[in-house]
Structure 1
Amino acid sequence: MKILHTSDWHLGQHFMGKSRRDEHKALIDWLLALVDSESIDAVIIAGDMFDTGSPPSYAREMYHQLVLDMKARQCQLVIVAGNHDSVSMLNESKSLLSYLDTQVSSQANLEDLASHVIALKDKSGEVAAWVCAVPYLRPKDVMKSISGQSEQDKKLGLLQHIGVFYQQVYELACENNKSLKQPVPIIGTGHLTAMGGQVSESVRDLYVGTLEALPTSVFPKFDYLALGHIHRAQAITKDGHFRYSGSPIPLSFDELGREKSLVVIDTEAFAEQGPAMDLFDEKQEPIQLHTIPTFQPMQSLKGNLKDVLKQIDKLAIIDGTMLWLEVTVIADEYLSDVHKRLVEAIEGKSIELLRVMRKSAVDTKKAAFESRQTLSELTVKEVFEKSLQGNADIDEEESVILTNLFNHCLIEMEDSQEKQV
């Protein structure tokens, strides 16, 4: 069967005063067309379906219409809650939606772990995959606080409880597999920050309790782990089976420059991953990335005022569309007419100026001061991050890999020090 993984839709978001309603409508239309053309059997949305706990009515209408559209296509839908989603709001229609082949996991339930194991069935009605539907985990959902604990003890305790929760749900899925004639793939979900993931401006700091990021060792050996929360599409394991789908539309200007995508997993291809018997045998890849088209033109320009004005003149505007523009003006002196001159430059063009920022000499001095900091003033992690930032030869993909390796080394070093104590 084919399973589509996406996340972080943020229905109802207002972007600097602008509604994303039309973009989300275009996204859903495109997605439904993909479900039809690729014969998708199930869709997993890994958290942050909505932007706020009280989304506008049109966002709720889109949500419920999506469920009906998926049901009409006999495509199952699995939705797990993210940190932006309201548990109570998702629970309002949870029971009703289950009759429409939509399963919602809004909160960790230690008393009913079986509710987190969802069977995905193929067109013939046979179980073709299990989904360990784990939503955003709040500390109170998986552990009880103990008075007098140190920060480090809380961190280690929470990490252990999260690992145990994932393992228990995974073991239930493995047990379910024993009842089948042939075991099927087990797909995990998560809405959190995993080590190695690179965030963007629109991603709010997310700490699961006191944990800044979880090591991949916390997760069981899922055949695939569908992650949400980080808006940049990226894999966090070498084989690409643990990955963030990323948000389907740019939720901040710094998300521009990278294609938005979603993931389609072919469960049948997992069984074909062994060594090829025939050199000319072309095995099907179990994971395919599908590029999402741009539904709203956006552009971010940076430079001194003269350069920015030239860049505006060269902007390519698509007929019938309005370009959303962000400008960062770098100037040593204070320019009182920056906004006025920018407004004059876009007059008569299909451009809407959403944000103007200035980078002054003060920022430059601050950056110079930070570069003179001694090693004693920085943590090990800060030294590593500054080294990465200062090396122009390392691209983003290599940076993710290096960060992941560094974090693993750091954990091993800390564990070794604790054992010596």
Structure 2
Amino acid sequence: MRILHTSDWHLGRTLEGRSRFDEQVAFIEELSGIVEDNAVDLILIAGDIFDTVNPPAAAEELFYEALNRLSAGGRRGIVAIAGNHDNPERLCAASPLAVRQGITLYGLPKEVLLPSPSLFTQLNPGDGSTVRRARAGQGWMELAIPNCPPTIVAMLPYPSESRLNEVLSESLDENILREEYSKRVQQLFTTFAQHFRPDAVNLGISHLFVRGGVESESERPIQLGSAPTVEVNALPVGAQYVALGHLHRAQSVKGAPIPTRYSGSPLAYSFSETGYAKSVVLIEAYPGQEVTTQEIFLRSGYPLVKWRAKEGLAQVQQWIDEGKDLNAWIDLEVFVPNALQAQDIHNLRRQRERLINIRPVFPETEKIAAEARSKLPIDELFRKFYQDRMGGAEPEQELVAMFLSLINPDDNETTSIAEQQIVVDKEAETA
């Protein structure tokens, strides 16, 4: 069978107040074509379908229209779970209607699902022409999909303490909170995965931040601190593929014992994602066999680019006249000796409506910033870079030492100091 994994649509989201609705409509159109062209049997949408818990009406209408098109009148299965930006109850409000089209909307981590309603079964008496929920329970279900083997899906929507309705630890220590959170996720997935069978295609889907994933600025924090991260061993044992949502950069989860991926968002939602390739994942799966995956790159959506005009406004005007990045959203830094006049800004925006940010850079300010950076020790610069890329996580001392040894292979003193620090840290842990 063929499965398509997507997530983080963030319908209704804007870019610095500019609507992205037309781009989101284009994505749905492109996705529908991909699904048809590749004869997809099941679509997994791993959370953050909407950008807010109270999405605009147009965003909800677009989502329901997408479900209607993608389900093909109930002949194709769809599983959509709630992410941290979604309102679980609101997302699932249409479930009584959706299930009759082979669509499962699943909002809360411990919600109990039921098989397809008896009336639906009577109207579709097992002829195999439409998707049915054959069996189901808390966090899992078995789907009967036309011309496919039994498909069992373990589902864990965004599992915050409030949505779990649990207090995971009385401690305020971040390390303890993270450990308890990861253990709880593992317990839930272990329970759900008990329903996996060797004669079925076994899948997992969740909206989580698995340790080691690479974030971008467009993912607004799901809560303070790093407690929500989970370890790779928390993922469901026995699944042939785990579809994740939350991180907007498409990536595989390093160290996962089974194929586990973030599909990423279909559009770039901040300029930190400049240069990211946007995609969905196509999975081919058979019972008892390793899956094969294919990343299908998306064309819809305008790219986000950064312009850095060191030669001032004349250079910006030249780029505009040349038609540079004509269909892109642009973040502009322009080097100027004096403050920009309102007329200058108006003139630029009049010529390029998708020119989002215009930030003047004054040479003296740039010089001061460069001097401040140059005074930091190289290991401190590396730590700051690592923390920026890894969501505030502190790099292990061994990693810092390795970095220092690579850039200073002949600097025995630097390496020696780093190695001594590792020994001290390990002795402290032992004590």
TM-score (norm 2): 0.75
Structure whose alpha-carbon radius of gyration is higher: 2
Alpha-carbon distance between aligned partners in 2 of 1:364 and 1:207, rounded to the nearest angstrom: 36
- Match for residue 19 of structure 2? 19
Asked if the contact 2:45–2:79 (Cα under 8 Å) also holds between the matched residues in 1, the reply is yes
Q: Which sections of structure 1, spanning at least 5 residues, go unmatched?
A: 274-284, 390-395, 397-401
When residues 148 and 260 of structure 1 are mapped into structure 2, their CA distance, relative to the original with a 3 A threshold, is: closer
**Residue-pair matches, total:** 376
TM-superposed deviation, 1:263: 0.1
- Match for residue 160 of structure 2? 138
- Match for residue 322 of structure 2? 314
| 1:173 alignment partner, SS class | coil
CA RMSD after TM alignment? 3.7
Amino acid at match of 2:178: K
Asked if the contact 1:142–1:162 (Cα under 8 Å) also holds between the matched residues in 2, the reply is no
- Match for residue 181 of structure 2? 158
Query: Among 250, 270, 280, which residue is 1:233 paired with?
Result: 250
TM-score (norm 1): 0.77
After superposition, the C-alpha distances for 1:257-290 in whole angstroms (9 at most, x for unaligned) are: 222110010003972x5xxxxxxxxxxx710111
Q: How does 1:114-129 map to 2 (within 5 A)?
A: 114-124=137-147, 126-127=149-150, 129=151
TM-superposed deviation, 1:56: 0.9
1:264 aligns with 2:282: yes
Q: Which sections of structure 2, spanning at least 5 residues, go unmatched?
A: 114-135, 390-394, 403-422
Q: How does 1:345-356 map to 2 (within 5 A)?
A: 345=348, 347=350, 349=351, 351-356=353-358
After superposition, the C-alpha distances for 1:120-141 in whole angstroms (9 at most, x for unaligned) are: 43423641x3221111110231
TM-superposed deviation, 1:147: 4.2
TM-superposed deviation, 1:27: 1.2
Alpha-carbon distance between aligned partners in 2 of 1:418 and 1:249, rounded to the nearest angstrom: 46
The more displaced of 189-198 and 145-154 is 145-154
Q: How does 1:37-186 map to 2 (within 5 A)?
A: 37-72=37-72, 74-109=75-110, 114-124=137-147, 126-127=149-150, 129-140=151-162, 141=164, 143-145=166-168, 147=170, 150-170=173-193, 172-174=194-196, 177=197, 182-186=198-202
| 2:45 alignment partner, SS class | strand
Asked if the contact 1:245–1:263 (Cα under 8 Å) also holds between the matched residues in 2, the reply is yes
TM-superposed deviation, 1:212: 5.4
Alpha-carbon distance between aligned partners in 1 of 2:377 and 2:259, rounded to the nearest angstrom: 40
Asked if the contact 2:268–2:276 (Cα under 8 Å) also holds between the matched residues in 1, the reply is no
When residues 148 and 324 of structure 1 are mapped into structure 2, their CA distance, relative to the original with a 3 A threshold, is: closer
After superposition, the C-alpha distances for 1:129-162 in whole angstroms (9 at most, x for unaligned) are: 3221111110231632554654433332222212
After superposition, the C-alpha distances for 1:220-247 in whole angstroms (9 at most, x for unaligned) are: 3332111111111111236882111111
Query: Among 232, 235, 252, which residue is 1:219 paired with?
Result: 235
Query: Among 302, 326, 332, which residue is 2:331 paired with?
Result: 326
When residues 163 and 12 of structure 1 are mapped into structure 2, their CA distance, relative to the original with a 3 A threshold, is: same
Amino acid at match of 1:309: Q
Percent of residue pairs identical: 24
TM-superposed deviation, 1:256: 2.8
Amino acid at match of 1:4: L
Asked if the contact 1:317–1:350 (Cα under 8 Å) also holds between the matched residues in 2, the reply is no
| 1:246 alignment partner, SS class | coil
Alpha-carbon distance between aligned partners in 1 of 2:375 and 2:355, rounded to the nearest angstrom: 37
Alpha-carbon distance between aligned partners in 2 of 1:109 and 1:416, rounded to the nearest angstrom: 40
When residues 203 and 29 of structure 1 are mapped into structure 2, their CA distance, relative to the original with a 3 A threshold, is: same
